[in-house]
Amino acid sequence: MLPDMKGSDRPTDRQHDQQDAMKRLESLRDEPTFLGSSLAAAGRRAARHFAGQNPDDSPGAVDPIELWGRRIGRALSLIVFIGLAVYLYLTYVR
């Protein structure tokens, strides 16, 4: 015959599952949502790109002149892109 477990301090499997589920819910509450995290990641990548940083660059290995050349080139390309988009809109859509 098995002893009666009701008076025992050991949690049952169901209580253990509930505790695990509550821990998982608490950890999910702290994580950002999918849309928020993907937008934030895209913003960080864009900021690093226009700052002249490349993913494969080590922090001290980039020449300052090369870094400023990247920044100027990327800023000019953004200006040209916006100008081209405005030109195409005014020419063909309006």
pLDDT of residue 69: 94
pLDDT of residue 88: 97
pLDDT of residue 89: 97
pLDDT of residue 90: 96
8 A C-beta contact, residue 49 and residue 71: no
pLDDT of residue 3: 53
pLDDT of residue 8: 53
pLDDT of residue 42: 86
Spans in the chain with pLDDT lower than 50: 1
- Say what the pTM is: 0.56
68 and 45 within one domain: no
Residue 77 lies in a domain: yes
pLDDT of residue 73: 96
Range of the domain at 82: 62-94
Using the CB atoms, write b or e for 27-65: b if 16+ within 10 Å.
eeeeeeeeeeeeeeeeeeeeeeeeebbeeeeeeeeeeee
Orientation of helix 64-88 relative to helix 34-50, angle to 10°: 120
Residue 18 lies in a domain: yes
Count of Cβ atoms closer than 10 Å to residue 24 Cβ:
10
